[in-house]
Structure 1
């Protein structure tokens, strides 16, 4: 009986779970707008499974591209009143399309690696990579004009590519016909996906101000659309810390480029290429990028809290943009060097003499003794007597001898100045007297 009861209970729980899943799907469909194209895009996003590795039959999973292109084009023409939901779905779709482009790029590199392995590092952009391969396979001596116009390469890239083709490109190795066909299919699918992504991004740029008004007012709609497309939406962007925002959209390092620019910035992503940063001189780019990234994180969190019922407001984004512009202007201002005032002209007036008992006692400590005063004087017409000091130097006596009388012995008539002599404290005097008494008592004993 217990086993039957447990089986019935498990069966009932399974039925309840299935009913809950069906109710959840019904609620989800009720939340989504009644638009066939939008429903198709939503189901494609929900059923999408990323490719973990590149396999030989990878192109079989790209049969949806033509139908997706048709549905997306129809959706962009007939948006209706579901703009917020459409933009949210399109942002998610851009993220998935970028992943599909990465899969096709990896597959193309596997096909062409044996013949020209160095091309991966020279041309990291997926679209440019397949275009260069197509040009090279059509004409081994591809001209620089073709590479610049059709593959949209810079002159530096063309120069480095031409040099590496002379050393790394294997002319002797024939490219199999099967790989050519596979590459042609992969290139066609990639260009179709990139066309869909381009149309979606252009639409987002036009309509993104309704979803992220503060971001658009702060860094512009184009940069905002790139950030939203990369992150997958405003809520996803608001969860990214400010220190990671600068690296979004950064190009891969090329072999012929330096790691840092003149502004000493390595993370040259979408935010760095915005007009708010590029309008400044090079020496302010690094500091401006940090400030802009911090405010972008705050603006994304503010926009993520906007509900469909609330009216879009871009006051915070506009205010933050003005604050950063004012900070940069203050830094660019010249240093305010204060005018150095010249010293006033001294007045030819007698200085005020201080007086008083304390000041007289203070000055007496530094006055010359009478003996030093007599030594500094000389009698007219008489030769000065000298003596040798302890260091063997000759020292003049001046009028010291003339002030001495030799009646009963040598006696100085000069007064001793006690003001500038070493002064003893009362405690020191008591200790000296005590020591003298002890010495006398010991001597008597």
Structure 2
């Protein structure tokens, strides 16, 4: 059957209008994205980084950093303390430095939110791909308006994992962001610099606190080491704040949210903080690390309370706690006891059933072969029977 050329073109002409709504929807989604980005940018348009970072230019930060430089050059021991330790100027400095480290963390998170609101106009997807505040700030500072230089950037190679770099690179090639204006870019880079400077100040404070941990918390340092003890005190706001926490909260101090961007979920370790990554826990077999972290967190809670009351300044309580932890870990790693091979028990033989008695004999006689049947079947030797022929 032949068809006209007009009839052949009819299906094609009917199919063309169906693609129009898809394009319109895509354009509408891009417009919505731009409107949301513009709304977030307008929210911080009149805000400066000095208004967000309260600690950055404060006299408190400068005073603590100056005192840290002065006390860092001195070598002290617990015997140098005369009177209550709370009255010692270096102890007061360490407590203030720990509180300041917490405030610096809060300012870094506030600057991270400020940078996200500014950079959402250029690369809105980056906020969900790089969730760590410092990693996000470093990435934004390196990319700026040129988001194509992700792969071969040496700074990002040291900051982000290869999987994250690959995902960011692929997403950057398809993003619908807009170029930032010069004044917006200048404000953005200034905020990134402030965040990195605050992080350097925090690192300097924690390094000093770590060097004085045997002076402040000898028992806690004996269990998990000075670096981990300094991190716990820094995030808890001092030794007193740490001593008031339950062990379940101390166990997860320092845990971070991890986003694998569609990759395997096997690498995610939820509820793992500083204690989980301390050398004592990492030296145990992988299948016992969670149990070891729970055990260490409980003893760290007790050690922090001992240090908070300034008892056992020689670390003897921490040494006893550590020995108890090691005994329990050794007990957990012991192989199960070998089962004793027991001989099989002698078989119990049931007594044989003896069928007998008057009733049984009568039943056997009833079904037994009669004498007449025996005579009928009997043949005499040497005689010819009647039915032989």
Common fold by TM > 0.5: yes
In structure 2, stretches of 5+ residues that fail to align are: 1-42, 75-87, 374-389
Decide whether aligned partners of structure 1 residues 255 and 99 sit closer, same or farther in structure 2, where only a CA change above 3 A counts. Answer: same
How far residue 370 of structure 1 moved from its aligned partner, in angstroms, is 2.2
Alignment-derived partner of residue 174 in structure 1: 179
Q: Is 1:95–1:230's contact at 8 Å kept on the other side of the alignment?
A: yes
Measure, in 2, the Cα distance between the counterparts of 1:119 and 1:106. Answer: 13
1:198 corresponds to:
203
> Where do 1:51-62 residues align within 5 Å?
56-61=46-51, 62=53
2:305 to 301, 306, 313: 301
Give me the whole-angstrom Cα distance separating, in 2, the residues matched to 1:130 and 1:294. Answer: 36
Could you say which residue in structure 2 is the equivalent of 1:372?
360
The offset of 1:225, in angstroms, is 0.6
2:288 matched to 1:288? Answer: no
Alpha carbons of structure 1 residues 94 and 248: separation in structure 2 relative to 1, 3 Å: same
Comparing 56-65 with 194-203, greater Cα deviation is found at 56-65
Residue-by-residue CA offset, 1:318-341 (whole Å, 9 max, x unaligned): 222222222222222221113314
Provide the C-alpha distance between the structure 1 equivalents of 2:372 and 2:105, rounded to a whole number of angstroms.
108
TM-score by length of 1: 0.62
56 and 318 in structure 1: CA distance in 2 versus 1, 3 angstrom threshold: farther
- Could you say which residue in structure 1 is the equivalent of 2:70? 78
2:147 is paired with a residue whose SS is coil
Within a 5 Å distance, the mapping from 1:414-433 to structure 2 comes to none
3-state SS of 1:104 partner: helix
Q: C-alpha separation between the residues in 1 aligned to 2:119 and 2:158?
A: 17
- Normalized per residue, which structure has more helix? 2
- Following TM superposition, by how much is the alpha carbon of 1:166 offset from its aligned partner in structure 2, in angstroms? 2.6
Q: Corresponding residue for 1:133?
A: 140
Residue pair 1:240, 1:297 contacting (<8 A) in 2 also: yes
SS of 1:277's equivalent in the other structure is helix
Give the corresponding residue for 1:103. Answer: 110
Comparing 293-302 and 186-195, the one that deviates more: 293-302
Q: Post-superposition shift, 1:199? A: 0.6
Q: Does 1:160 align with 2:150?
A: no
Aligned to 1:313: 314
Residues 180 and 138 of structure 1: is their aligned pair in 2 closer, same or farther, counting only changes over 3 Å?
A: closer
What is the Cα deviation at residue 366 of structure 1?
8.8
* Structure-2 separation of matches of 1:55 and 1:206: 42
> 1:261 Cα shift?
4.9
Is the CA contact 2:213–2:221 (under 8 Å) kept in the aligned structure 1? Answer: yes
Structure 1 residues 344 and 64, CA, compared in 2 at 3 Å: closer, same or farther?
A: closer
Q: Given the alignment, which residue of 121, 141, 147 partners 2:128?
A: 121
Matched, 1:268 2:272: yes
Tell me the TM-score normalized by structure 2: 0.70
Q: Is this contact kept in 1: 2:94–2:209, CA < 8 A?
A: yes
| 1:198-232 residue CA offsets vs partner (Å, 9 max, x unmatched) | 11111111111211111111111111111111111
State the partner residue of 1:48: none
- The within-5 A match list for 1:14-413 is 56-61=46-51, 62=53, 65=56, 71-79=63-71, 82-137=89-144, 139-146=146-153, 149=156, 152-167=159-174, 169-170=175-176, 173-256=178-261, 261=266, 265-306=269-310, 312-343=313-344, 368-376=356-364, 382=370
Per-residue displacement from partner, 1:136-173 (whole Å, max 9, x unpaired)? 22643224342665661111211221222233x335x1
Change (3 A) 1:69 1:147: farther
Q: What is the Cα-based RMSD across aligned positions, in Å?
A: 3.4
